[in-house]
Amino acid sequence: MNFDTRYLYIILGLIVIMNLFSGSFDILGVLLTLPGVLVAITFHEYAHALAAYKLGDDTPKVQGRLNLNPLTHLDPIAVVLLVFTHIGWGKPVEINPNNFDRKISARAGEAIVAAAGPIMNILLAFVIAIIFYALQVFATGFAIGTQTGMSIMTMLQYAVIVNVGLGVFNLIPLPPLDGSKVLMGFLPYNAKRWFEEHEKVFYIIFLVIWITPIASLIISPAIDAITSGIDSLVSGLFSLFM
């Protein structure tokens, strides 16, 4: 049973409007966050496409999704929502599990493809953190001594947070998030059928979690823990050069 995503857009659009009129709108913050958003979504969806292709499904390649062109992967409305709510998505990558290599089951393949997106975001957060500390250690004058440098450093910090946030959020095991597909890859057949038959109910639960403080209570600790872990590991590595 498919959920009408128009309801999702309407509800989250209201959240954006409330942000605009609450006095919390920060144009500089939006501009510094946007590059991280574009990179996070692009690599997230590319990872889905690449995983499916490596498993033997050429559907993403045929549909032109096997590339890093942001215009290929972005849903404009979702980008706006991610900037304002720090939660969003890309244009879904279509796959055909029947094309997967016979060495792997369709269910396992779907789970791998679903997990590829969040995993890519966490790895990308590591890479961006490395770039941040590399600039801080080896280009200190530029990084903290110029307005351009400080803006870039702030942009990189936001990019780490956005990538971790997108990765963690998508691992929540509720439709339409990647976590639900990962979960169904491990459920017994009857449980999977029950999950699919009640998909609309889970969409409603997802919306309730999203538009209430429950979402922050669930994912903020995980985002903080992972972000802090990445920062500690990378800063510890670069402390050897300081």
- CA torsion 143-149-151-157 (nearest 10°) is -40
Distances (CA, A) of 183 to 71, 159, 163, 201: 30, 27, 21, 16
Dist CA 237 CA 29 (whole Å): 29
- Backbone φ and ψ for 50, nearest 5 degrees, come out as -65, -40
CB 55 within 8 A of CB 104: yes
Rounded-to-integer distance, Cα 231 and Cα 123, Å: 13
Domain locations along the chain: 5-241
**Amino acid, single-letter form, for residue 149:** G
Cα–Cα dist 171/87, whole Å: 12
Contacts (Cβ under 8 Å, ≥6 apart) of 175: 3, 199, 202, 203, 206
The most distant pair of C-alpha atoms in the chain lies apart, rounded to whole Å, by 61
> Tell me, what's the pLDDT at 89?
67
| Cα 46–chain centre separation | 11
Count of CB atoms situated within 10 Å of the CB of 69: 11
Which tokens hold the place of 92? 């879904």
Rounded CA gap, 50 and 44, in Å? 10
pLDDT of residue 195: 84
Tens of pLDDT, residue by residue, the chain (242 residues): 444 555 555 555 555 555 555 555 577 877 888 899 889 989 999 999 999 999 999 999 999 999 999 888 887 776 666 666 655 667 889 999 999 987 888 889 999 999 999 999 999 999 999 999 999 988 888 888 888 899 999 999 999 999 999 899 889 888 888 999 999 888 888 888 888 888 888 878 877 777 777 777 888 899 999 999 999 999 999 888 76
